Amino acid sequence: MSAKSAAIAKSRDSRLPMIAIAFAQVLTSFNVASHPIALIGLKTCRAIHRRVAAAKPNRAKTMKPLRAGVLCLVLSVTAIAVPLVRSAAAQQPTMEDLMRRIDALQRRVDELEGRERAEKRRLANTQPAAESKKPRSPAEYSPSQATSTLSAPIFAQQAPVANIPGLLPPEPMGHQNETGEGDDALRSDLPGLSIRIPGTQSEVRVYGFANVNGYRDFNGRNQTDAPAAQTIPLANSPADMQGGDFGLSARFSRLGIDTRTLTSWGTLETRLEGDFGGGAPTSTNAVFRLRQAWGELGTERFRVLIGQANSLWNEGVYETVNFSTNLNQSFVRQPQIRATGMLAPGLTGQVSLEMPDTQYTSLAGVFTQNSTPTGFSGLSPAFTSLPDLLGRLSYSYNGLVLDMRGLLRELSVRTAGTAAAPPALTRNAAGWGVAGTARLPMRWLSPAFGPDELSAMAYYGQGIGRYFGGNTFGQDALSNIGLPGTATDFSLDPLPTYGASVAYRRFWTPQLRSNFVYSAAWQQYPAYALMFVPGSPSAVFLNSSMQQAIVNAIWSPFAELRGGTVATGWLDVGLEYVYTHRDVLAGSVATGTAGSGFATANRVLGSVTARF
């Protein structure tokens, strides 16, 4: 062997023990060198290194122990690597584990965000609302803001954080100040499933609920899941003789889509909502119907709504689990143009022009703008030429709500071109009404009452029958068309109507609450109403007075107490008792063979509502 080859071999042989020691040190750094095989390999490599360093350059004497040490080290690495790989594989989380961890983190984030928003709402209710700042236009936002805010869609059970400056957040669905169904058990404080659209100033939510309700009547058979106090079966009528029956329905399950977009003029909100309550109450082939279809643009200071929405006259007053328009409740939805403005901290003013519909009752039956009684062919004499004008003032402070509303409308009958002529005449009359509502948090009197509430409502009007669909449908006015002495002339007489309701909402616990309600209403009729045919629909539904009492218990297992009020959560299970009584004008003289001159209904119902 040449001198050069010997030098190369010596260098290689010297490096092999060093490499072995380096591997051993790596094992030590991974905290596995305590393994017995690894210790043997480490000690062997060090001994060989010392031997090679001290030995003369004789390759034959050093190769055998060197190879043995390297082999031992390789075995050590193998012995340790195999269990390490197995352990790493065993500890690697599965995709299901990762998804569960992500879901848990999302729920925790949603919970924290919900608490933060609830605290902000509580603080806002404890002091007068500050004047809203003018929203910035989309052009004022920098790309960095858009990237940080809109980089990914946000899915949540709670409202999305209003982190687009100027974009109004969704109103709580169970807000008691909202016109319409108010804070009843059919709505939720949850705003639905929301998504922020990436790269835009818009957000979309889908909301609604699935509901099933069952009822049992104990007087006359009343085959509807939404009975009106005005039409409960008369005592001693055929329905009363047959007795009460049982029914189930899911047709009031609801679905809605809501969007919000920031513009240079403020927030543009649109809503499309419907349910399956358009069919017959006893049919399982439910028909979808439109409830809401509108757009609203503006800020908290001023905004304008156009489309079909809840009437400004609407007032739920109290919480129930049934889907009826109960006595003194108003759930009218109709096309309108509405303006809303903040007049002062806590004080809101609204005015609207809404779709008119003259409804009157005569000898022939009930006439509306689009319908006539059985046997009457052709166009309806009920006519409209001007929209209904409505106004509302609402004040709220720390849970207290004071509300006043008014209504002015025109009623018209035109017989020309209809089967009601001759005579071919036009009669116009004015309808008007006023109503007031008060809602008092009982904690104002004593903290011992907790979130309990006392509510009351009263109204008076003439020609406003259709705005109380459970009281006086078809009774904006009465007309003597067709009665003796009206061959050349007739009258149209708006009906005076008035009533009041009082309700107490008791929270036994945040998850269990009850409502105690009493309502009464009265109507006045012209003398010629006594000339309507006894037993006819024109006569048996003219009620001089009506009363209703409601008691319920509602269990919301996911409800939470937040800042003195209760957020009801996504599930309600309710049990309710409803007592209704009506007295017909002129009693049995008016009802004739149709039954006694009064009606009483006792109903027990249950309802389960799951919201999303």
Q: pLDDT tens digit string along 567-594?
A: 888 899 999 999 999 999 999 999 999 9
Question: Helix or strand or coil: residue 271?
Answer: strand
DSSP H or E run through 343: strand 333-344
> What global pTM score does this model have?
0.71
Cα–Cα dist 291/158, whole Å: 24
Bridge partners of residue 503, in order along the sequence: 455, 517
Cα–Cα dist 319/317, whole Å: 7
Interval 503-512: pLDDT, tens: 999 999 999 9
Contact present, 264 and 138 (Cβ < 8 Å): yes
Buried b (16+ CB within 10 A) or exposed e, 427-461: bebebebebbbebbbbbeeeeeebbbbbbbbebeb
Q: Which two tokens stand for residue 596?
A: 């006694």
Bond before 356 cis per omega within 30 degrees: no
Domain boundaries along the sequence of the chain:
3-91, 208-252+319-611
Q: Which two tokens stand for residue 122?
A: 């509580």
Better-scored residue on pLDDT, 196 or 77 = 196
The single residue listed with the structure tokens 């004040």 is: 395
Contact present, 369 and 383 (Cβ < 8 Å): yes
- pLDDT value at residue 111: 66
Cα–Cα dist 312/391, whole Å: 7
Tell me the backbone φ, ψ of residue 514, rounded to 5 degrees.
Answer: -135, 155
Tell me the backbone φ, ψ of residue 140, rounded to 5 degrees.
Answer: -85, -5
- pLDDT value at residue 150: 27
- pLDDT value at residue 583: 97
- pLDDT value at residue 461: 97
pLDDT of 133 above 70: no
For 529, other C-beta atoms within 10 Å of its C-beta total 22
- Which of the four pLDDT bands, split at 50, 70 and 90, describes residue 45? low
CATH of 208-252+319-611, one of 2.40.160, 2.30.29, 1.10.246, 1.10.3470: 2.40.160
pLDDT of 141 above 80: no
pLDDT of 135 above 70: no
Mean of pLDDT values over 355-366: 96
Better-scored residue on pLDDT, 293 or 76 = 293
Contact present, 550 and 515 (Cβ < 8 Å): yes
Contact present, 466 and 388 (Cβ < 8 Å): no
Cα–Cα dist 582/587, whole Å: 10
Closest-CA residue to 405 (of 459, 468, 471, 326)? 459
Bridge partners of residue 280, in order along the sequence: none
Contact present, 360 and 373 (Cβ < 8 Å): no
